[in-house]
A and B are shown apart, each in its own frame.
Chain A
Amino acid sequence: MADPMKIRATMAGDKVEVRVLMSHEMETGQRKDAKGAAIPAWFIQNVTATHNGKTVLSAEWGPAVSKNPFLSFRFAGGKPGDKVSITWTDNHGDKRTDEATIS
């Protein structure tokens, strides 16, 4: 349903730098529509990144994270060819997992 994430995982020295661009509205629940009714909150709550089955980053997000969230982080122990997998879950229970190969 949701669009795929764009994930880049590249070696930065001895670390792997991962950059992720997710596609999500990240509606805060604070805004009102044209009729003055509150637009319900809809946002990513949990993000998990794994490398070879090991969690390398997990995050809890509130609605203050920008629309189409960008995230970048660095971890040790990866090498070119390894896979990095990212999963998000939003407050509706929707989920999306995408994978990238370290280059």
Chain B
Amino acid sequence: MNSSRREALKGTAVLGVAIAAGLLKPGSAWAQQGGWNKAAFDTKTLNDAVKALGGASPAESNLIAITSPDIAENGAVVPFTIESKLPKTENVAILVEKNPNILAANFSIPEGTQPWVNTRVKMGQTSNVIALVKADGKFYYASKEVKVTLGGCGG
């Protein structure tokens, strides 16, 4: 794992500069960038995440499908497919309830692109996984419990 050591060192250097420049508080680990909703990625609960994404009170929907293993042997790599059948789906997000920060990924779906995404996320422990969909300006969600036998966020 030489390469990861090198990368970790490099990361330390960059972060050190950022801290020295007063851009970052240690612990709030990264700089804000254009087009990245830091507030949303800092949230811990579904309602806070929805608020940070500019909505309120998401409704449960059976038109959102989450496809994933029921039991994930390795929490570091858990594959998810999220499909929304809601008309005018604009956004699809994946949230893992018991991760340190709930929001894992947020996809913008322009017109012409299917509301269907497949990606892999880390899960620290057995948790509900929530698919949050913004369709026609409103927020909807579906959730599913995924059991993790080996966590993906440990040290």
Which positions in A face B, CB cutoff 8 Å? Answer: 15, 25-33, 39-42, 45-46, 54-67, 69-77, 89, 91-93
Contact, CB under 8 Å: B33 / A46 = yes
Q: A46-B33, A66-B122 are in contact. Are A57 and B11 (CB under 8 A)?
A: no
Which residues from A are CB-within-8-Å of B29?
29, 40-41
**A-B CB contact pairs (8 Å), 28 listed:** A30-B100, A30-B155, A33-B8, A40-B8, A40-B11, A42-B11, A45-B30, A46-B36, A57-B107, A58-B35, A60-B40, A62-B103, A63-B101, A65-B104, A65-B122, A66-B119, A67-B77, A69-B119, A69-B120, A72-B118, A72-B119, A73-B114, A73-B118, A74-B113, A75-B114, A76-B114, A91-B33, A92-B11
A39 to chain B, nearest CB (A): 5
Contact, CB under 8 Å: A57 / B113 = yes
3 closest Cβ pairs, A-B complex: A64-B104, A72-B118, A66-B120
Q: Taking the complex as formed, is B135 at the interface, i.e. its CB lies under 8 A from any CB of chain A?
A: no
Contact, CB under 8 Å: A39 / B11 = yes
Assembled-state Cα–Cα distance A7/B41 (Å): 27
Task: Name B's interface SS.
Answer: mixed
Interface centre among B31, B100, B119 (most CB of A within 10 A): B119
Q: A58-B107, A60-B37 are in contact. Are A31 and B153 (CB under 8 A)?
A: yes
Which positions in B face A, CB cutoff 8 Å? Answer: 4, 7-8, 11-12, 14-15, 29-31, 33, 35-37, 40-41, 76-79, 96, 99-101, 103-110, 112-114, 116-123, 152-155
A73 to chain B, nearest CB (A): 5
A19 to chain B, nearest CB (A): 8
Q: Find the B residue at minimum CB distance from A75.
A: B113
B125 to chain A, nearest CB (A): 13
If A30-B155, A45-B30, A89-B33 are given as contacts, then 20 extra A-B residue pairs at C-beta distance below 8 Å, sorted by A number, are: A26-B122, A28-B100, A30-B100, A39-B8, A40-B29, A41-B11, A41-B30, A45-B33, A45-B36, A57-B108, A57-B113, A58-B35, A64-B96, A66-B78, A69-B119, A70-B119, A70-B120, A73-B118, A75-B113, A76-B112
